[in-house]
Amino acid sequence: MSTAAHRTEAPGSVAVCVITVSDTRTMETDTSGRVIAELLERAGHRVHGREILKDEPADVEAAVRRAIRDEQVDVVITTGGTGITSRDSTYEAIDGLLEKRLDGFGELFRMLSYPEIGAAAMLTRATAGLACGTIVIALPGSEHAVRLGMEKLVLPEIGHLVREARR
């Protein structure tokens, strides 16, 4: 079956849990989490939950585990904590949960980022994969990076990803 056929069979609306990982943001200042939620809703998807966590690996892992155990959640999207500073730990917290990795997600994200930020694109550890039948996507924390990832990668394929994960 072709990719086009898969997309026609994909759900038009999925439920997404949005998790912001930041030591400094609040609901009022979380522009990246807000952008993810707004873009999802504009595209016809449902934001099942939204929270902000400190960049503590155990807390991030626990929150993602809770979300993937929730039968109503199809996708978990995190923002923040994907860099290489000593406090950036989202990648480690999520990587250990993934049963199947979508290596192409991070590769494409960095490729799309390169024309805009040059070699600094290598500093992001954006990633995606499958955990307990749920799609998990980790985006950087900047609003610009979130828009890029959502508009170019996530939104065009989110229904298709969920369809494949359910098979």
The pLDDT of residue 4 is above 90: no
Q: Provide φ and ψ at 77, rounded to 5°.
A: -120, 125
pLDDT bracket for residue 8 (50, 70, 90): confident
Beta-sheet strand order (sheet of 75-79): 46-53, 15-21, 75-79, 134-139, 127-131, 100-101
CA distances from 43 to 3, 13, 36, 78, 156 (A): 20, 8, 11, 18, 10
State the pLDDT at residue 7: 78
| Cα 92 from Cα 150, distance rounded (Å) | 22
- Decide: helix, strand or coil at residue 102: coil
Residues 83-93, mean pLDDT to the nearest whole number: 94
pLDDT tens for 109-119 read 999 999 999 99
For residues 150 and 59, what is the distance between their CA atoms, to the nearest angstrom?
24
Q: What is the pTM of this model?
A: 0.96
